[in-house]
Amino acid sequence: MTKDKYKTVSLNTMIDKHIGRKGTDRREAFENELRIDLLGNAIKQARLELNLTQEQLGEIVGVQKAQISKIENSVKNARFETILKVFDALGAKVNFNVELNNKKLAY
């Protein structure tokens, strides 16, 4: 085995190579999906920290257990209003940043 056979590269380099550079449609879709997954994971983590089942959280929010499961696993199919209700029921503080041309519009 030669020393040059294996080369260490950064995660950003791998993402650029296999998904696309920032600004490309494919990269934007990837990053949006990643944000959606992180939001679902945040909801699940908060629910588990409060020792709530999906069914219990659904009762608090006023939706079925299946809807909580969908939100935790794929937020893109949930209504924004429902997501906010879930965070409110969990007592979680949610912050949003809106930027346009590197200028914050709302937060």
pLDDT digits (tens, 9 = 90+) for 89-103: 999 988 877 778 878
Tokens of 99: 């930027």
**Domain residue ranges in the chain:** 9-106
- Look up the pTM and report it: 0.69
Neighbours of 31 (CB within 10 A): 13
Cβ atoms of 74 and 40 closer than 8 Å: yes
Q: Which residues contact 74 (CB under 8 A, 6 or more apart)?
A: 36, 40
- Residue 2 is classified by DSSP as -
Tokens of 16: 């650029």
Q: CATH says 9-106 is which class?
A: mainly alpha
pLDDT digits (tens, 9 = 90+) for 45-100: 999 999 999 999 999 999 999 999 988 987 666 788 888 899 999 999 888 777 78
